Amino acid sequence: MNKVRLTTFVTFALGIQLFVSIGLSTAVLKLFYRDSILPGISVEGVDIGGLNYQQALTTLEQGLPWPSLNNSLVLVGQEGKTTEIQFSSIDFRVDYEGIAKEAINYSQRASTWQDIRLLFGTMNTGHKLPAIIHFDKEAFSDILNELANQFNQRPRDAQYAITGDKVTLFQDVKGSKLDVHQTIKQLEDLSFGQHKVNLQFEVIDPTITVEQYKGINSRLAIFVTQFSLADGERTHNVKLASDLINNLLIKPGELFSMNNASGLGVQNQVIGRPWLLLTTGWYPIMVEGCAR
């Protein structure tokens, strides 16, 4: 029993000693590095361990001179199409102040006894902090919106052509729209020293796909009318109508209404007397037909 009690006492005493030693060690380290950065901390290969805030700030500015005033940011679109903008146009820069503050905060967290493993891990094997970048998101968004027309691609509906008894189908093509939000995120995640950002796009599906045209194998009817191109009003109105109903697919049993197909926006664009199909005007009677 005496041996057991002695062993318990010695173990307890050693435990207290270890606890006190760790506490004193962390207290000394915390006091010593209260206003400085723990050894082993670096940013993109630049060692800032042991430095205070101002020293770290100067070291980072000298060690991470990116981007330079003459550097351009290359925006890469689909099929490798590119355009360039100046980094300065969006106030793109390394946030040296933010990095130095994060290094100080990290050191203070690691110096507490609760994070003893973090403390000794940092001092023994080091810790790499990422470079923090800053840029004007609103200015970059404005540039992307201006470039949208250059990079956007409208979807192309499936087409068909009838020559005699032969029906030829033309494949539909998906379109794309520049995704400003996701592209901004790409720039936020840009690796240090890089100068290219891949533009992000949303896929725009065509309204009519070639699958919808499958089964069309003959012409049911054809109607031709003539009008003078000198009649400007009628020419304008016929163009409106043709843009609406060209390649319009009416499924079997479906009711076609020119009123629904046009909408009020197009109706308001009609000049003078409506075209031949609508000789009684837009609102009293609409041309309707049922597909069979």
pTM exceeds 0.75 for this model: no
Q: Tell me the C-alpha distance between 242 and 103, whole Å.
A: 66
pLDDT tens digit string along 209-245? 999 888 888 877 777 778 788 888 878 877 877 777 7
Average of per-residue pLDDT across 272-292: 39
Q: What is the mean pLDDT of the chain?
A: 80
pLDDT digits (tens, 9 = 90+) for 10-40: 455 555 655 555 555 555 555 555 678 989 9
Q: In what order do the strands lie in the sheet with 127-129?
A: 46-47, 41-43, 127-129
Average pLDDT value for residue range 115-138: 86
Supply φ then ψ for residue 141, to 5 degrees. Answer: -60, -40
In tens, the pLDDT along 88-102 reads 999 999 999 999 999
